[in-house]
Copies of this chain bind each other. A is one copy, B any other.
């Protein structure tokens, strides 16, 4: 649904909505012809499916494999083809760096550069996170005129560079040549508004080279994925409610924050997440709960472990229901079939449970049942309108 229409029709109500995202939930048939979800022990989810209704989402479009960014912002109700979270912004978000409206971020690599100025290893032999952390501390001493500079280690040789100041732009080239045996690319504006930023980046890269020149490994830097904070209308304003994210991993907390949600922090397990929700139950109308382990198992190609991760989530469902949400949605941000060991383009199973549900009389939460479910196959950006409609939070359109 169009965001202007949401803004127009959304209305406060005394109801609570919980969105559970089982990362990479959708799967493909395994050795026994059934999917991870179909093999998992889902007695609690199956009971919800009996009283609720099923469907499937297309996160971005037919045949499109979503990254985590688009997968989540679609579930939050934003068109992922309109609101794009750039790679620099996402990398910053992933380590908990809060991008401001005047920030421009890039993903950085420490790399090896030889005497001729050619890149010999784009990843500097995958330097350890410890070494990179030390190098980032050094790089923070570099100053640039008129802007603040942040350099944050990520993992291995990766770091994030953020420039903060008025009038910065992401309209400049990447400096990573994407292959070895050539020079790094000199940052150049791709349109006039990028010229000042490109000049600042050139200066920073030169100073970094001078500072790191004596190192054996990691004597150079490569920058890519320039991006600012995406400009999404805040979720709480669109829906006229208080929204909180309860996550374990910083990436998902970050995406929720970019959408204007609060973050309730401190949980390291699903039980702790639910305990935090209980503690803050009266403070919010909407909770986004993120569960990562379905995706990590899928990405590892481990069918059995993904199945078990789903079963483990199922075990927590009674505690979720004990909070007495009015509407509970269980879905994924994309599919991650163990047989592919990667995100995939397949539609994502969805279960919507609540008072106003039109039942589809099925007894199991599965890909096949979802394909035939009451809600049909629909764009993921319609999940929020559907959930909030079931919670009495969308007014009538027209007289």
Residues of A within 8 A of B (CB): 1-2, 5, 9, 28-29, 33, 35, 60-71, 80-81, 84-85, 87, 90-91, 225, 340, 343-346, 356, 358-361, 367-368, 371-372, 374, 376-378, 382, 385-390, 394-399
User: A167 CA to B327 CA in the complex, in Å?
Assistant: 49
User: A317 CA to B389 CA in the complex, in Å?
Assistant: 34
> Which residues of B are found within 8 Å of A225, using beta-carbon distances?
399
A-B contact pairs, 23 of them (CB 8 A): A1-B61, A1-B63, A5-B61, A5-B64, A29-B358, A35-B358, A61-B385, A62-B385, A64-B389, A65-B397, A67-B396, A67-B397, A67-B398, A67-B399, A68-B398, A69-B399, A70-B398, A91-B399, A345-B386, A345-B394, A346-B358, A360-B368, A371-B374
Q: Write the chain B residue with the least CB distance to A59.
A: B397
> Which residues of B are found within 8 Å of A66, using beta-carbon distances?
396-398
User: A70 CA to B376 CA in the complex, in Å?
Assistant: 23
Q: In the complex the two chains form, is B399's CB within 8 Å of A68's CB? A: yes
> Which residues of B are found within 8 Å of A68, using beta-carbon distances?
398-399
User: A80 CA to B5 CA in the complex, in Å?
Assistant: 12
Q: Write the chain B residue with the least CB distance to A394.
A: B63
Q: Write the chain B residue with the least CB distance to A383.
A: B62
Q: In the complex the two chains form, is A85's CB within 8 Å of B398's CB? A: yes
Q: In the complex the two chains form, is B63's CB within 8 Å of A386's CB? A: yes
Nearest Cβ distance between residue A237 and chain B, in whole angstroms? Answer: 18
> Which residues of B are found within 8 Å of A62, using beta-carbon distances?
1, 378, 382, 385-386, 389
User: A12 CA to B30 CA in the complex, in Å?
Assistant: 27
User: A71 CA to B396 CA in the complex, in Å?
Assistant: 11
For A397, give its contact among B9, B80, B346, B395 (CB under 8 Å). Answer: B80
Most B CB within 10 A of own CB, among A67, A343, A387, A399: A399
User: A62 CA to B397 CA in the complex, in Å?
Assistant: 12
For A399, give its contact among B28, B33, B87, B388 (CB under 8 Å). Answer: B87
> Which residues of B are found within 8 Å of A377, using beta-carbon distances?
376
Q: Write the chain B residue with the least CB distance to A62.
A: B382
> Which residues of B are found within 8 Å of A360, using beta-carbon distances?
368, 371
> Which residues of B are found within 8 Å of A399, using beta-carbon distances?
67-69, 85, 87, 90-91, 225
> Which residues of B are found within 8 Å of A356, using beta-carbon distances?
28, 340, 344
User: A398 CA to B78 CA in the complex, in Å?
Assistant: 14
> Which residues of B are found within 8 Å of A367, using beta-carbon distances?
358
Q: A29-B358, A67-B399 are in contact. List 13 more A-B contacts (CB 8 A).
A: A1-B62, A5-B64, A33-B359, A61-B382, A62-B382, A63-B385, A63-B390, A64-B389, A65-B389, A70-B397, A80-B397, A90-B399, A371-B374
> Which residues of B are found within 8 Å of A91, using beta-carbon distances?
399
User: A225 CA to B356 CA in the complex, in Å?
Assistant: 30
User: A382 CA to B387 CA in the complex, in Å?
Assistant: 25
User: Given A5-B81, A376-B376 in contact, is the A65-B28 Cβ separation under 8 Å?
Assistant: no
Q: In the complex the two chains form, is A376's CB within 8 Å of B368's CB? A: no
